[in-house]
Structure formats: structure tokens, C-alpha cells
Structure 1
Amino acid sequence: MTSVVNRVLYGRRHNVTEPTPDPAKVAEPVTTFPSPNFKENVKYLAYGSNLSAETFLGRRGIKPLSQVKVRVPSLTLCFNLAGIPYKEPRFANVRPREEGDQELIGVVYEVTPEDYCTILKTEGGYSVIDVTCIPLEPVKGIDSFESKTLIVPDKGTRTSHGLPSLRYLNLLIKGAREHSLPPNYQDFIANTGYYEARSLRQKLGSVAVVSTVLPVIIFLFGMRAIISDKNGKAPKWLNDAQVFCFTKIWNIYDHVWKPLYGDGESTRHTVKKADEVVANAGPATETDALLVKVEEATAANWRDSAGSRA
């Protein structure tokens, strides 16, 4: 059943009759960075779950033409994108860097325009911005370059404090390790801490909320995969439906689920080192593929001017 749902959510590129490809093999770029057609191709900066080859490359079927590790002095990583209470409270986002903030480190994938459209089609309602990236290791003839990345502005984030799940934190660290990002940056991600439903009330809340929310997400993204245009843009009514649904999810949490089941977003469990996250996260399951889609769906929970939304 999960494989069928994955087919609906990810489209024909995800073959339900075949296992997910080996991330290490899928992640191998066609050529070294930059490719011969560097100027014509799209440069896309990944900083969150898209660092993971299994998520970004394996399930979406996208193979980078080239890739490079970079730092982005203008941005910092944050976890202010609301997901599902009790299960996936927050996802990664970026915001302008302020004094004392850790600068963003990520990976720029060089992709074809067609694959870039696939990224936009499966990424919900993020806004696309251009940022200056500096390679972590010397690249002949390139000191810095412009890349596209995805962001949800402040007006689309949840202002109250919240944390990612251990599953999601592990996904980010796995991706950082696949690309050999600096160990101190991996520890910076781990030091965020994570939310986990541990009390009986919270566990009951997790079951109740997930069983209510996941069918909605499956339906919305099934519709998005079917009716989005060739550039990955969904109709306004579908974006508005996502906005409405996720606004209602958190309204219900604030007024019903939280009083009934207790805190579902900010109970912090401390982890300081990346190794601790990997050791405690356990093996990935097929259900994780559905939870990845939650991150993409929640990005639509904001409104922007016409044409800026993916």
C-alpha cells in the first residue's frame, strides 16, 4: 500500500515495482563540477532533507549533472516550518543570517531545467530566491556563483517554539554525511535537539493526529502530481486548499489537541553530537516516505504575490 501511495505522490519516476536505488550510486554526478553547460543549467541549493540522496535523488529520480559543497554567508539554517503536531512538529527552513548565527552550509546540485521543474512540482509552496554560494573547496575559475534555493518567508512560519523529530534530524545528518559536510556543522544540526512523543498522552495524540492528517496530505499531493502544469505550478485553488488545511490543522492543535494530549511541538530531548542522532534514530521505514511529503505540503501554508510560488 505504501508503495502505491509513493507512486501517486512522486509520479511515474518512482517505480513501485523496484526498490529504492542505492543512494550512494544515485548521488554520483554525471561529471565534475562545473559541467560544460554550467551557465545554461539550473543551480539548486539543498540544505535540508534534500541533502539526502535517498530523499532528493532516489525517490524523485533526479540525477545531478554535477554538485558542489558550498557555504552561504547570507543565510542560516532554522526549524520554523510547522509540520504535524506530535509527529513532525518542525522542518528545516532558512532565514537571513544575523550576527552570531551559523552560516548555512549545503550542496548545490546542477540540474537540467526539466529536473528543476520536477523539484518545484514536488516541493509544495516554497518561494524561490537567488543566493550567492561560495564553494567549500577551490573550484578553478569560480570563486562564487548564484544558485536558486527554496524558502518559506516569516509570514508562513509558526512563531511559537518547536522542534524537528528525531527521524527528520537524522535525515539531515545522513545527507550531511553523504556529502562529507564539516563535522562541526553536523554537530550544529544535532544540537538543535528533537521532539518525541514520550508520555502516554502525547503518544495517544500522535496516533490520533497522524491518522487524521496523513489521508489529507496523500490526497492533496496526489492531486498536485496529476494536475500541475509542465513547469510544476499547481492551480491557485489547490494551493489555497493546502493553505486552508494546514491552517486548520494547527488551529485544531492549539484549541483541541494540545489541551487534550499535551505539548506536541516543543518538548526538547537533547542531543549534542551527530553520532548520537544516528545511534538513536533506528532504521528508516517505508512510512518515512509519507512523512517526507508532509514537509513539502506544509510549505504551502503561506500566501505570496502571484507568480512567486512554486
Structure 2
Amino acid sequence: MASGIQVLNPSSPDLASPTEPRWYLAYGSNLSATGFVVKRNITPIDTKVVIVDGLALTFDNPGVPYIEPRFANCRLVEQTEQWSPGSAWTGGHGSLMGVAYLLSPADFLTILRSEGGGTSYQPLITPAVALSADGARTQQVINAYTLLTPTTRRGTGYASLRYMNLLRNGAREQHMPEPYIAYLDSIPSYRIKSFRQKLGRLVHIVVWMPGLLVFFRIVARVSGKTGTAPKPILWTRRALFGTMWGLYDLLSKWIFGDGEASS
């Protein structure tokens, strides 16, 4: 695997029974320390801004059309060049910038449960290089766990403005390098522009959101001490999201308009 990245099975014993603090790499909405601590009642032992070679930020993790169409994701890539502090961040360097949190074993399992209990992600262990205050690479390399979503949406799609603001505000809270903040500011967000799209949003709120909220509460409850949900829960999630997005592609997009790429 490129750059020393190791792909893990969600049910791996290495994930199920941590006995020591672990580094967790956040690159999406968990960049926001406020949301990370308050929503999950987690207190990181330590926090570092890091860069990871061999991963790239994407927005192809499917959410709910018209509401939260896409979430942040990452994918394995070949590194093309090392980013230099002070230069523009284009996203094309073959590197991912994020924040690594050192978490207690209990808090680490809380993250796994809250992120879907293994129903929606592929865990990775990756070397992450700590950055200095000016964005330069240091000599400190930590092994961090992070999550990749293998089931993705193809084509153009954007995250909601609410979600993008979490990323942007989180990057500022963490004092990430200014070129990276400017890059996040330049990414478009999904915007509803027509009455048909507003109607599509309402339909999806009424039809899909209650069931999805109940489902994820069940996931958090049944994930237990290991942070991983049973296989039937995984199959249920695939069925739910497969049906929702399948109906969007076949019907909703044509009836209500674009639910993922309008900006």
C-alpha cells in the first residue's frame, strides 16, 4: 500500500479492543474541535495538525439528496509532489491535510460508533507527519487511524453550506495553514435555487429523515463495546441508501431537479 497506509477490516480485533490511547485523523466535519468535543463528549489528550501522503480529500461520500448531498471522504492516490508552506494548496499534491486527535480507548470507540459502527466506512492506519505552526513538516510521524467510505457517488456533487462551514470553521479553529483554509473557502457548496428543489428537500425530509435518524440511533446502541455493528445492520444501511439514491437517480432528479450538484 502506498506511503505505508494499511487497510483494515471494520471487524478487525485491532479496532475492537484498544488498550492504549490512539491517534484519530479527522479531515471532515470533525476538524471542528467544538463539534468534536461537544457532540460526542470527547476530550482529546493531544491535538496536532498533520499531513498524510497517499490520501486526497474528496466529496463523494453520499448523504441525503437536497439536504446533505455529500460529505467529505478520502481516497488512495499517488503523491505527485510535496506541498510547500506559503504556496497555494490545490488538492492535487497527493496529500491530505487534517487534524490528529490523541484519544483514550473509550473515546476512540465512541468515534467508531458515532461514525456508523462499521456500516459505512473502511478503517485505515496511516503515517501522518505533524506540521509546525507555519505549516512546515516536522520530524514527528505518528500512526493515525482514519475512516474512508468505499461506497461513493460518481460525478459532480457538493456538500451543503452548513457542512462546508463546519470544515472551514474547524480549519480556522485548529490554526491550519492559510493556503489550506483558502482552498476550503474555494470549494462550492450545494444550494437550492428553485421551488422544485425546495419541494424535493421537503419530500426527502418527510420520507427519509425519520427512518435514517432511527437507524443511526440503533447503530450507536448495538455497536456495543467494539464500536462495530452486526452484519445485518450493514446490509440494512446498504439497502436504505441504495434505495434512496436509486429512486433519486430514477425519479427525484427528474421531478424535483438537481439534488446534489447545484451551486
TM-score (norm 2): 0.82
Match of 2:198 among 203, 227, 231: 203
Q: Does 2:40 align with 1:60?
A: yes
In 2: Cα distance, 1:148 partner to 1:223 partner: 24
The CA RMSD over aligned residues, in Å, is 1.9
Work out whether residues 127 and 151 of structure 1, in 8 Å CA contact, stay in contact via their aligned partners in 2: yes
Specify every segment of 5 or more residues in structure 1 that has no aligned partner in the other structure, as ranges: 1-38, 269-310
Residue matched to 1:264: 259
Work out whether residues 222 and 229 of structure 2, in 8 Å CA contact, stay in contact via their aligned partners in 1: yes
The code of the aligned residue for 2:190 comes to Y
Quote the offset at 1:159 in angstroms.
1.1
Residue matched to 1:172: 167
Quote the offset at 1:182 in angstroms.
1.0
SS in 2 for 1:104: strand
Q: Say which structure, 1 or 2, has more relative contact order (CA 8 Å, 6+ apart).
A: 2
SS in 1 for 2:140: coil
Residue matched to 2:92: 101
Match of 1:249 among 244, 247, 255: 244
Match of 2:112 among 103, 107, 120: 120
Match of 2:142 among 141, 145, 164: 145
- Where do 1:21-60 residues align within 5 Å? 40-60=20-40
Residue matched to 1:87: 67
The runs of 4+ residues in structure 1 deviating greater than 4 Å are: none
The code of the aligned residue for 1:238 comes to I
Quote the offset at 1:227 in angstroms.
1.9
The code of the aligned residue for 1:232 comes to G
Quote the offset at 1:187 in angstroms.
1.5
User: Any idea what the Cα deviations from partners look like across 1:145-175, whole Å, max 9, x if unmatched?
Assistant: 211111112xx10112211111111010111
Q: What is the number of residues matched between the two proteins?
A: 227
SS in 2 for 1:189: helix
Higher strand proportion (structure 1 or 2):
2
In 2: Cα distance, 1:233 partner to 1:73 partner: 27
Percent identity (aligned): 39
Work out whether residues 87 and 196 of structure 1, in 8 Å CA contact, stay in contact via their aligned partners in 2: no
Specify every segment of 5 or more residues in structure 2 that has no aligned partner in the other structure, as ranges: 1-18, 81-90
Quote the offset at 1:142 in angstroms.
5.0
SS in 1 for 2:51: strand
TM-score (norm 1): 0.70
In 1: Cα distance, 2:20 partner to 2:190 partner: 42
Q: Does 2:219 align with 1:224?
A: yes
Work out whether residues 55 and 75 of structure 2, in 8 Å CA contact, stay in contact via their aligned partners in 1: yes
- Where do 1:182-201 residues align within 5 Å? 182-201=177-196
Work out whether residues 171 and 181 of structure 2, in 8 Å CA contact, stay in contact via their aligned partners in 1: yes
